[in-house]
Chains A and B, each alone.
Chain A
Amino acid sequence: MAKVFAFAEQRGGEIRSAAREAVTAAAKVAGGLGTEVKALVVGGPGAASSAGELGRFGAAGIEVVEHEALSDYQPEAYARVVAGRVRAGDYGVVVLPATTLGRDLAPRVAALLDVPLAGDVTELDVVDGALTVIRPVYSGKAFAQVRVDAAPALVSIRPNVFQPTDAPGAGIVEVVATEVETSWARTRVVERKAAEGGALDVSEATIIVSGGRGMKDPSNWPLLEALRDAIGDGVALGASRAVVDAGWRPHGEQVGQTGKTVAPKLYVAVGISGAIQHLAGMRTSGTIVAINKDPDAPIFNVADYGIIGDLFEVVPRLTDAVAALRASG
Chain B
Amino acid sequence: MTLDVIVCVKRVPDTETRIRIDEASAAMDPTGVKFIMSPYDEYAVEAALRTKEAAGAGEVGLLTFGEESSQETLRSGLAMGADRATLLIGHPTQDGLVTAKALAAELAGADTPLVLFGVKAADDDQQQVGPMTATLLDRPCVTGVTSFELAGDAVLCHREVEGGVEVVEVELPAVLTITKGTYDPRYASLKGIMAAKKKPLETKPAAAGASRIVVERLSYPPARAPGRIVGEGPEAAAELVRLLREEAKVL
Flag if A320 contacts B216 (CB, 8 Å). no
Q: Which residue in chain B gives the minimum CB-CB distance to A321? A: B241
Cβ of A313 under 8 Å from chain B: yes
Q: Is A276 an interface residue (CB 8 A)?
A: yes
**Binary interface profile of A, 279-304, with partner B (CB < 8 Å = 1, else 0)?**
01001001111100001000011111
Q: Is the CB of A188 within 8 A of B168?
A: yes
B191 is an interface residue with CB less than 8 A from chain A: no
Closest-by-CB residue of A relative to B216 is A145
B125 touching A149 by the CB < 8 A rule? no
- In whole angstroms, how far apart are the Cα atoms of A266 and B249 in the complex? 10
The size of the chain B interface, using a CB distance under 8 A, is 87
Q: Which A residues from 171 to 191 make CB contacts under 8 A with B? A: 186-191
The reply to whether B221 and A142 form a contact with Cβ atoms under 8 Å apart is yes
Asked if residues A111 and B131 are in contact (CB atoms below 8 Å), the reply is yes
Is the beta-carbon distance between B181 and A304 smaller than 8 angstroms?
no
Verify B228–A305 contact, CB threshold 8 A.
yes
Using Cβ atoms and an 8 Å threshold, which residues of chain A touch B222? 143
CB-contact partner of A259 in B134, B180, B219, under 8 A: B180
Within 8 A of B (CB), among A184-219: 186-195, 198-201, 203-204, 207
The number of residues on chain A lying at the interface, defined by a beta carbon within 8 Å of a beta carbon of chain B, is: 96
**B residues within 8 A CB of A231?**
251
- CA of A101 to CA of B122, assembled, Å: 20
B96 to chain A, nearest CB (A): 7
CB atoms of A142 and B236 under 8 A apart: no
Report how far A306 CA is from B215 CA in the complex, Å.
36
Given contacts A136-B221, A251-B180, A309-B234, contact A304 B228 (CB under 8 A): yes
How many pairs, one residue from A and one from B, have CB atoms within 8 Å of each other in the complex? 277
- Chain B residues, CB < 8 A from A187: 140, 142, 168-170
Instruction: Give the interface of A toward B (CB within 8 A).
Output: 75-76, 79, 98-101, 103-104, 106-108, 110-112, 114-120, 132, 135-150, 186-195, 198-201, 203-204, 207, 231, 251-252, 254, 257-259, 261, 265-266, 276-277, 280, 283, 286-290, 295, 300-310, 313-314, 316-318, 320-322, 325
Known: A138-B123, A305-B228; 20 extra A-B contacts, CB below 8 A, are: A75-B131, A104-B143, A110-B128, A111-B132, A111-B135, A116-B96, A141-B19, A143-B219, A144-B215, A146-B216, A188-B169, A251-B146, A276-B16, A300-B229, A305-B248, A307-B229, A307-B236, A314-B233, A322-B251, A325-B245
A-B contact pairs, 30 of them (CB 8 A): A107-B96, A107-B132, A108-B131, A108-B141, A116-B96, A117-B132, A119-B126, A120-B125, A138-B19, A138-B28, A146-B94, A147-B214, A149-B212, A189-B169, A190-B167, A192-B166, A204-B163, A252-B164, A276-B15, A287-B244, A300-B229, A302-B224, A305-B243, A305-B244, A307-B229, A307-B230, A307-B231, A309-B232, A314-B237, A321-B238
